[in-house]
Homo-oligomer: A and B are copies of this chain.
Amino acid sequence: MQRTSFLSHLECGWCGATYDADRLWNLCPACERPLLARYDLEAARQAFPREALRGREPTLWRYTEMLPVRDPAYRLTLGEGFTPLLPFKRLGARLGLTHLYAKDEGLNPTASFKARGLCMAVSRAAELGVSRLAIPTAGNAGSALAAYAARAGIPAHVFAPADVPPVFVAEMRALGAEVTLVEGLITDAARFVREGVAAGRWFDVSTLKEPYRVEGKKTMGYELAEQFGWRLPDVIVYPTGGGTGLVGMWKAFAEMEALGWIDDKRPRMVSVQSAGCAPIVRAFQQGADTAEPWENAATIADGLRVPAAVGDFLILRAIRESGGTAVAVSDDEIRAAQREIGAQEGVFVAPEAAATWAAVQHLVRDAWIAPDERVVLFLTGSGLKYTHLVQDA
């Protein structure tokens, strides 16, 4: 039986204006904020019970009905999503935590969580007729775009800071993308993408600047619920650059409640950033609704080196509504955490991912997390692209 998407329309996350979901959009034309996909949840509540998932493929496409791609021919797959939820007993015991888990996103195609968002954005862009794609990246998003664009047969243009680790450039080129290195940060790379958009050269799939990357990312929330037997964990610890994952999971929880899959209990959402670039942490502490850009951003965790996020208000909203918090950790803590996760649990993680374990240590020390709470670390990517950080280990 063919599975049908219940996508109904797009809605601006800031001003609430609505738009036709079957046309191409970037930011809200009215207020330049992110558009979010909305579904006919009434109809889906009847037609898509959670029992329907049993026996489906172990990828994010098992949630087809709540994803935006209408035609099965455009549902591109490289095996993304449904990543393992691993008990971290040894590290948990160190802090007296009895229920510490990690979601290993490094097992996605191109070895990071970015595959989820770009899988969805490229699939939907292809369905809506886009013939050329571009993205600014710290590395992993560019690799993921390259992979799915190749799968779709659409040319991809990637703009990355010149100090991006060479492994990313090799990977993106091996996947057929055209790669341009740019002096500066990801925000500088973004300028090149914008200029190309203005010139009509390509469609921009930057974080939250089109509506569908967040739809791919939200599947992390669906998976958590399913893997925990429809009882969400108490705390989710998430490294935050652009923040799509956190925003996406928060959206997923609301959708699942509307579908009747879960109750109204929510995890406390913890945003982790590097002390060298912590705009969300600062804004959270100041009680602000949006985040001021961070000056002189510097950290070994390239994916956290995002001085300004277009979805800042959505991230802050999710943290606050959940009773969560935001934590900054140092690069030294990140390095130590990376070694501990590797040697104690057997997962070689990227520095962004390692930051979550560093943050949990703060939160347990501050008694913000209780010993018997179920805590999930999001290990957003593999360490294989960051071996330069451990060469002398």
Contact = CB atoms under 8 A, between A and B. Distances in A.
Given A170-B391, A345-B150, A390-B174, A79 B90 contact: no
Contacts of A147: 346-348
B58 A58 contact: yes
Range, interface on chain A? 35 or more
Contacts of A108: 107
A109 B296 CA distance: 36
A173 B78 contact: no
Given A167-B384, A343-B175, A387-B170, A110 B55 contact: no
Interface string A131-146: 0000000000000001
Contacts of A393: 170, 173-174
B174 A338 contact: yes
Contacts of A167: 167, 384, 387
- When all copies of this chain in the complex are counted, the total is 2
Contact of A345 (B151, B382, B383): B151
A384 to B, nearest CB: 5
Contacts of A343: 150, 174-176
A113 to B, nearest CB: 14
Nearest to A110: B348
A327 to B, nearest CB: 24
Interface in A78-109: 78-79, 82-84, 86, 90, 104, 107-109
A23 interface: no
Given A58-B58, A59-B84, A390-B170, A342 B150 contact: yes
Contacts of A84: 59, 77-79
A378 interface: no
A180 interface: no
A148 B149 CA distance: 34
> Which of A58, A151, A346 gathers the greatest number of chain B CB atoms within 10 Å?
A346
Nearest to A151: B346
A175 B90 contact: no
Contact of A78 (B104, B110, B166, B385): B104
Contacts of A55: 54-55
A77 B59 CA distance: 18
Contacts of A347: 78, 109, 147
Given A171-B384, A385-B384, A58 B78 contact: no
Interface string A33-71: 000000000000000000000110011000000000000
A153 interface: yes
For the complex of A and B, list the 3 residue pairs with the smallest distance between their C-beta atoms, beginning with the closest. A79-B84, A176-B343, A58-B58
Given A171-B348, A174-B387, 9 more contacts: A54-B55, A107-B107, A148-B346, A150-B343, A150-B345, A166-B387, A174-B348, A176-B343, A384-B384
